[in-house]
Amino acid sequence: MRNVVILGAGTAGTMLANRLRRSLDHDAWHVVVVDRDDDHVYQPGLLEVVFGHREPGQLVRPRGAQLADGVNVITGEIDLVDTEGHRVHLADGRRLPYDQLVVASGTSPRPEETPGMAGRLWGRTVHEFYTLDGARALRDALADFRAGRLVVHVTEMPIKCPVAPLEFALLAEARMRELHVRDDVDITYVTPLSGAFTRPVASERLGHLLAERRIDVEPDFVVERVDEDASALVSYDERTVPFDLLVTVPLNMGADFVARSGLGDDLNYVPVDPQTFLARGHDDIWAIGDASDIPASKAGSVAHFSVDVFVPNFVDHVEGRPMSHSFDGHANCFVESGDGKALLIDFNYDVEPLPGRYPVPVVGPMSLLEESRVNHLGKQSFPWIYWNVLLPGRPIPLPSAMSMAGKHASEETP
């Protein structure tokens, strides 16, 4: 028997394990999944916790229950990967041999990497919402916030779900209007990028959202430290942004065992071929989801579309055939914009977000680069799809490659 060992049972790792279990010969392959705990968190729901629309417990289910019968689930902390010995070393001393290894260990916020961020203000006036504990704490802080300077900040790209901080800013603005305190709250969106929307078409069509809602943008802001005494962000070019409540997206990094194993880049992401996910310099190691360095969004949709390409490529590879599929970086993301509406964007490595209808041309029912109630309802229905269709690896009628059908492209669009 041969072993394919998947390190991580998050969105990408779970979908992949279930699909490989069905696609590989059960008499020839064991599918093994390793993770540190048994809590699978529905991460798109964390902002709903922040705004009181969902309880934290509603987002968590047992990892093992999401995996198909026959998948061997191992709970333990990963120490390192011995690439020469083809073994995974766990912190408790166990050794797991592999014939093929898939790194699906995701990414996580590292506030300690920015001086002052994880200091005495952390959890009081400095918060994040990418973890359950962070979402709970921010929910409580936001409940009491009625006046002052609310700053939404991105430390550095890439980050998990790159539209989430913008989504938070829009939802927070809507919440302040609902509470009739909007005039008492200044909201600033601080980004290391050139603007909130960096692609031309998206900027042209969506830039008005922030202006109309009086959300200031501080672009090209590369944070050097958090000044705890002044309650301010300080950039390397010595600009300062004071805050009463800072909602930050800390530096995101891959798992530490990736670095210890010599498999990662400076941020602990595994360099891979962006079309096939095979790790550079290896023929038995892969990375998928947020753990890889592909130049696509670190988002659940990318994990889903990646798995569609990964599985046939993996089967081709282990059976000695050239890999037959190529990933184009396809991603789509909902952006809740408040007032019961949401945006939807759809793009890939080469094509920026464009207006149009999705998933069916003309019919939609969802609109691209445009606020709508239907888009909001689409996102609200997603938890059921996630737990019952995506994670089990059941087919859905959406192609993994991005389609231009239904999109309105300008002559300048590649």
Question: Half-sphere exposure of residue 262, counting CA atoms within 13 Å on the CB side?
Answer: 5
Torsion of CA 25, 27, 33, 34, to 10 degrees: -150
φ, ψ for residue 249, nearest 5 deg: -105, 100
Let me know: does 356 contact 406? Beta carbons within 8 Å: yes
Q: Rounded to two decimals, what is the model's pTM?
A: 0.94
Let me know: does 321 contact 284? Beta carbons within 8 Å: no
Distance of alpha carbon 76 from alpha carbon 92, whole angstroms: 7
What local confidence, expressed as pLDDT, does residue 106 receive?
Answer: 96
Distance of alpha carbon 109 from alpha carbon 131, whole angstroms: 8
What local confidence, expressed as pLDDT, does residue 109 receive?
Answer: 97
* Per-residue pLDDT reduced to its tens digit, 163-209: 999 999 999 999 999 999 999 999 999 999 988 877 777 777 777 88
What local confidence, expressed as pLDDT, does residue 396 receive?
Answer: 83
CATH number 3.50.50.60 given to 2-106+255-318: yes
Let me know: does 102 contact 109? Beta carbons within 8 Å: no
Q: Tell me whether strands 148-154 and 2-7 are parallel, antiparallel or unpaired.
A: unpaired
* Per-residue pLDDT reduced to its tens digit, 221-262: 999 999 999 999 999 999 999 999 999 999 999 999 999 999
What local confidence, expressed as pLDDT, does residue 224 receive?
Answer: 98
What local confidence, expressed as pLDDT, does residue 186 receive?
Answer: 98
Domain extent listing, the chain: 2-106+255-318, 110-251, 328-414
Let me know: does 276 contact 326? Beta carbons within 8 Å: yes
Distance of alpha carbon 267 from alpha carbon 251, whole angstroms: 9
Distance of alpha carbon 97 from alpha carbon 87, whole angstroms: 4
Residues of the chain scoring pLDDT < 70: 410-414
Q: Do 2-106+255-318 and 110-251 come out as alike in CATH topology?
A: yes
Let me know: does 50 contact 128? Beta carbons within 8 Å: no
Choose which CATH entry (3.10.129.10, 3.50.50.60, 3.40.462.40, 3.30.70.141) describes domain 110-251. 3.50.50.60
Name the packing angle between helices 300-318 and 11-23 (round to 10°).
30
Distance of alpha carbon 256 from alpha carbon 346, whole angstroms: 32
Query: Which residues are within 8 A (CB) of 229 and not within 5 positions of it... i.e. 6 or more apart?
Result: none
Let me know: does 81 contact 88? Beta carbons within 8 Å: yes
